Amino acid sequence: MKQATLDCYDLTGIDDLHDKLAEGFEFPEYYGGNLDALYDMLTTGGDMELRLMHREALQMLPGNYGQRFLETLEDAAEDQPRFRLIYPDEDDMGRVYGFIKKCGVFFLATVDGDQARVRPFGAIDRYEDRLYLQTGRVKKVFRQLEAGNRLELCCLSPDGTSWMRLSAVARRDGRQEARQHMLDANPQLKAMYAADDGNCEVFWLDEVEATFSSFNAPPETITF
């Protein structure tokens, strides 16, 4: 299955929208870069999945192009069952995932005996309705996560006005398909890891409690 993620806040215009889709789905060079051509690609391209994040930002595109683009996606998903359209940031888990992705970097704290350990992470994935972290088996953080103690992570929005703190228990997932999904969702990891290299490991987050805070609103806590 071909998978692509499109964060609408990252779009700089109509051409950029089509360029990102063409790159993510590896459309052929003759792709026309318009909505009719997009519909054709999505309904004839086999098994495809598009994770569309922050669709409210589509209103920043000129005229009503954002609405027409969204209607094209939904028509393709209705007409072609092999094309799947997902809005991953529109439930509680999606809000957490979307906020972490927007921040780009988060800080992960674990327990090592009686010592707290913290380090920056940059990769997160949502797979089978679970949030996943990735690390290397040779790293100390792997053993700390595998121990089953609660972890915490924290991230700050790019504009510095809001932040999220999350507490959870890490559960190791030994399946190669889970590792591959993580690498596909975070291609920068492929320079260091492969799903079958014996070092790449992924953990999903269980018993999650996340608190969103800002300078102008009371804290909000969600669990899943």
The pTM score is 0.65
Are 114 and 72 part of one and the same domain? no
Q: How many Å apart are CA 57 and CA 145, to the nearest integer? A: 36
Per-residue pLDDT of the chain (224 residues; tens, 9 = 90+): 999 999 998 899 999 999 999 999 999 999 999 999 999 999 999 999 999 988 878 878 998 999 999 999 999 999 999 999 998 777 889 889 888 988 999 999 999 999 999 999 999 998 888 999 999 999 999 999 999 999 999 999 888 988 999 999 999 999 999 999 999 989 999 999 999 999 999 999 999 999 999 887 789 899 99
Q: How many domains does the chain have?
A: 2
Q: What phi-psi label fits residue 207: left (phi over 0), alpha (psi between -120 and 50 degrees) or beta? A: left
Q: What is the CATH number of the domain that holds 81?
A: 3.30.370.10
Q: Tell me, rounded to whole angstroms, the distance of Cα 121 from its chain centroid.
A: 14
Final residue of a structural domain among 86, 102, 125: 86
Are 46 and 78 part of one and the same domain? yes
Quick one: which H or E segment has residue 51? Answer: strand 48-53
Are 212 and 112 part of one and the same domain? yes
CA distances from residue 161 to 90, 164, 217 in whole angstroms, order as listed: 21, 11, 10
Are 109 and 126 part of one and the same domain? yes
Domain that residue 34 falls in = 2-86
Final residue of a structural domain among 86, 109, 140: 86
Are 65 and 27 part of one and the same domain? yes
